[in-house]
Structure 1
């Protein structure tokens, strides 16, 4: 099966993935927990990664289509990795060169370090790109312009939105760091999660409308027939379900004057297969919607006081002594073991006497 997507149909989804990944990755790399990159370059990272992602999305159908036609889907994932990983390294090097252009003598080192960071971030983003590509490949099953094909195209955006929402979880440690004044709050990451959650909800409504109205209209054509048995009329409304080759019609019976039966509605495809596909899309949408709600709850929790205590404890456990005094529990490495039970009893007895 070949990808029917045109060269630029995946460019926008991959550009959005790149921009979101660039923004989130730049914030994570500059956060106090990681601290391997300079801060204040999230805008540059989002622009560079978005451009590279758009180019990858435009090139991907041209690379995947000929290989998939001969070898199936296996080489599609290899082609995806072969584009995403070098693209991430390129974006990381460009971001580093742009942000450290005034540091003379450190340009080459910054480019190499940025390429390594970009490669690591691209590897972390690869599952999101794979999920979007899988949805695009699944969209090949239905006929173009049909009800199921429209639902499959919405699935690409739905999976993209849910994946971006989950990716914002990487910014959670920035919330408690912001509360103690050590990092800016990741408000953009939370806004991305909120926008993705709203988008998933709107796509669920579209799938529900297709399942309710589209299939209900198709059920109004109960007569199974052959297209040759019906008088052709371009004015007759047609509903293409997208799956299956069955033909059903709502017939206006002919009489002695009209002759042949004429169709007032023509439905192409299998009602059962289309119903199963749309019901599966609704179930997937509900899961994505619940996942987005959980991500938003996680952001709200991370901005609360309990997350600050967990942040201090985590930094203390990593060896940062300055955070141990603020943690609820002393640092495990600095705390002395409790005295034996007999020694405690002896001390208590001495105090009493």
Structure 2
């Protein structure tokens, strides 16, 4: 997942708030900070994308066609970044170093207006003012670090990607809401209020999406799925461990007579990939149409339900805490 836009957005707000901290009478340095900082931050995000968090191994996700197996659509997958594979401590130190270097580059770029001496002074100021960006960007990097743990296109993978945008929006909202306490009255309070409102609204919208995803997962049974009951619908359940296989496909070492109970099933049915775990549960029913002799796949679920529920509940907890903090800080800066 690219970090260019999240980092660029944080850089834009951070550059504007940095200009507020100087209380500059001249507008030129303010707009220069607001223009240069997001560009440098976006370049930092591009640099960090393949080093922290999930990265793409292909061009685009492929939708499985009819009759395809679970693995046939895996032309695009997520995986841990290069720094992430070195361990959390090394990844944190390298990320801190990269943020500091970006701050120095940002300060030197702005200092070009004053010549060589301005570049030296700008480098020092850039290093100092990169420190407030460390916790802000760290929140986004922590969320990005979870991208890639689940299969691409799954429910958990979607939640992990939304977490990056939720962290970005919350960082921006909190930065604006606390800016008055840190730097005094902002130059454009109404603009700040609008930016904070947009950030909190984005967090709220993503919170709702996560809640819907959790509700969908909770509708799945804890154990093997139960087929429909009644005279017209007779169902059977196939539960497999390990590699996903199509109904009717024998596993290793299985004879033809020991094939899955879903042998002869037709149709794709509803496919749900939870993202974590390799368990596969298949619900096969007898259709009510004229061809009752051919069983039909009603639903296929891949992954561990409890692990997916834990991830989604954690996402809701983070979103709820963020909204509570935002609501507590909302009125104070505008008094």
Task: Name the TM-score, length of structure 1 as normaliser.
Answer: 0.69
Question: After superposition, where does 1:131-146 map in structure 2 within 5 Å?
Answer: 131-146=139-154
CA distance in 1, matches of 2:41, 2:319: 25
Deviation of 1:263 after TM superposition, in Å, equals 1.9
Residue of structure 2 in register with 1:345 after alignment: none
CA distance in 2, matches of 1:124, 1:42: 18
Residue of structure 2 in register with 1:93 after alignment: 108
**Counterpart pick for 2:9 among 5, 16, 30:** 16
CA distance in 1, matches of 2:28, 2:167: 30
Alpha-carbon contact 1:20-1:46 (below 8 Å) kept: yes
CA distance in 1, matches of 2:285, 2:92: 51
Aligned residues: 275
Deviations 1:54-112 (A, max 9, x none): 1111111334423433x222221122122111111111222233xxx3xxxx5333322
Corresponding position: 1:205 with 2:221: no
Q: Which of the two has greater helix per residue?
A: 1
Deviation of 1:143 after TM superposition, in Å, equals 1.1
Question: After superposition, where does 1:8-47 map in structure 2 within 5 Å?
Answer: 9-28=2-21, 30-31=22-23, 40-47=28-35
CA distance in 1, matches of 2:133, 2:218: 37
Deviation of 1:193 after TM superposition, in Å, equals 1.4
**Counterpart pick for 1:75 among 82, 90, 104:** 90
Q: Structure 1 pair 130/224, CA: closer, same or farther in 2 (3 Å)? A: farther
CA distance in 1, matches of 2:130, 2:182: 21
CA RMSD, Structure 1 to Structure 2 (Å): 2.8
Residue of structure 2 in register with 1:342 after alignment: none
Give the SS at the match of 2:283: strand
Unaligned segments of structure 2, at least 5 residues: 53-80, 227-236, 250-259
Deviation of 1:224 after TM superposition, in Å, equals 5.0
Residue of structure 1 in register with 2:46 after alignment: 58
Residue of structure 1 in register with 2:316 after alignment: 282
**Counterpart pick for 2:305 among 263, 268, 271:** 271
Residue of structure 2 in register with 1:249 after alignment: 282
Q: Structure 1 pair 210/26, CA: closer, same or farther in 2 (3 Å)? A: same
Give the SS at the match of 1:250: strand
Residue of structure 2 in register with 1:193 after alignment: 196
CA distance in 1, matches of 2:120, 2:171: 29
Q: Structure 1 pair 193/250, CA: closer, same or farther in 2 (3 Å)? A: same
CA distance in 2, matches of 1:121, 1:208: 37
**Counterpart pick for 1:107 among 112, 115, 130:** 115
Deviations 1:299-321 (A, max 9, x none): 123xxxxxxxxxxxxxxxxxxxx
Deviation of 1:192 after TM superposition, in Å, equals 2.1
Q: Structure 1 pair 110/294, CA: closer, same or farther in 2 (3 Å)? A: farther
Deviation of 1:214 after TM superposition, in Å, equals 4.7
Q: Structure 1 pair 234/41, CA: closer, same or farther in 2 (3 Å)? A: farther
CA distance in 1, matches of 2:183, 2:51: 41
Larger radius of gyration: 1
